[in-house]
Every structure is written in structure tokens, then in C-alpha cells.
Amino acid sequence: MTEYEVSVQQLNDLLTDESGLYMMPSKDFNEVYPKIYVGNMCVATDVMRLQRLGVTHVLNAAEGNSLMHVNTNAEFYAGTGIVYHGMPASDTDHFDLSVYFEEGADFIQKALAHKNGKGQVYVHCREGYSRSPSLVIAYLMLRHKMDVRTALAMIRQKREIGPNDGFLRQLCQLDDRLVAEGKL
């Protein structure tokens, strides 16, 4: 391991409490970065609540109709003024979420720039615990030049999260790539 490589274990250490336990989210959603909310499917399917929050964009990191997915799409939000984008990601160690890192970062960036910086984005999966926080961590790394530890710790301060080890490994690989490219 080179001096800049981060391990999955180091990231898991940042995710657990003093007893080494993972905590499930205590709220349906949290603002994890200015104008970026991470949350669960309950809020994602409550258009009135999203509108009260001032959400202009929704990124569904679990699009699909199986039990591990959230069955919403652009039609679900039609006429609400909310811009939708979906990614059919599965919350398994072997799923390659990294193929969505750039696409997710682009969508979040566009959402925040909406109406001269007045946009707000709700990034969700079923629980707001693994897929959606992983995409927000990648966004912070790609667009705000944060290393993986800083991005993960920042989000963990605001919300209980627990990306699976496969996603953590992919975020470590992104960290390594950004360091090698001189972008971190």
C-alpha cells in the first residue's frame, strides 16, 4: 500500500461508533452538505414534503421495482417542478457503483447550480445508508477535491451511513486515481 492509499478498514473505522457498531439512520433525511440531502424512500415518495424542503432535484440511487429498489421515475415527479434522475444500482458488494460516480456528480452539480445556485438535491436509495451516501462522497471527491476520508467523515457527522465494503473499495480506488492524476 502506498502512502496515499486508503483501506476499506480505515473507512469502516470512521463509520462505526466507539463500540465498533454501525448505526442505522436516526432520521428520514439529513442535509449532509449545503443544499444536498441524503435520505430514504419515504421522503422520496412524498412530493409535498420534498417541495416543502425546497428540493428542486431528486437523484434515485436505487431505481427499479425489486424489494431493494425504489420504484419512482421521471413520470412520478411529472408536473411537480422536480427534476428526476435515476440509477438502477443494487446494494451488494459486487455491484459496480463507480460507473455512476461521474454521472451522479454531474447531476448534483447541475442541481446545485439550478436557478443561479438556488437548487437543492435529494439523493436517496431505500434507506439512505449505502448507495446514496456513496454517490455524495464521490461527488465531494470529484467536484470539491476532498479525499475519501474527509468526504466520508463529513457526511458521517451529519448522518448515520454504512456503505457496503464493495462501495468503500470503489471509493478508495477513486481516491487513488484522483491522487495519481494530481486532482487531490
pTM of the model: 0.94
CA of 52: how far to CAs of 25, 46, 48, 55, in Å? 21, 10, 6, 8
pLDDT of residue 129: 98
Among 9-13, 31-35, 73-77, 80-84, whose mean pLDDT is lowest? 9-13
The three cell numbers locating residue 170: 470503489
Instruction: Judge whether 120 and 57 are in contact, CB under 8 Å.
Output: yes
pLDDT of residue 126: 96
Question: What is the distance between the alpha carbons of residues 15 and 163, in angstroms, rounded to a whole number?
Answer: 9
Q: Which residues are catalytic?
A: 125
Question: What is the distance between the alpha carbons of residues 31 and 72, in angstroms, rounded to a whole number?
Answer: 21
What mean pLDDT comes out for the span 68-97? 96
Number of Cβ within a 10 Å radius of residue 150: 16
**136 half-sphere exposure, CB direction, 13 A CA radius:** 38
Domains, the chain, in order of start with CATH, read 8-19+29-180 (3.90.190.10)
106-163 confidence digits (pLDDT tens): 999 999 999 999 999 999 999 999 999 999 999 999 999 999 999 999 999 999 999 9
10-48 confidence digits (pLDDT tens): 898 889 887 888 899 999 999 999 999 999 999 999 999
The three cell numbers locating residue 121: 438535491
Mean pLDDT of the chain: 94
What are the residues whose beta carbons fall under 8 Å from the beta carbon of 179, sequence distance 6 or more?
Answer: 4, 147
pLDDT of residue 9: 87
Confidence band, pLDDT 50/70/90 cuts, at residue 5: low
E strands, the chain, in order: 29-33, 36-39, 57-60, 83-86, 121-124
pLDDT of residue 2: 46
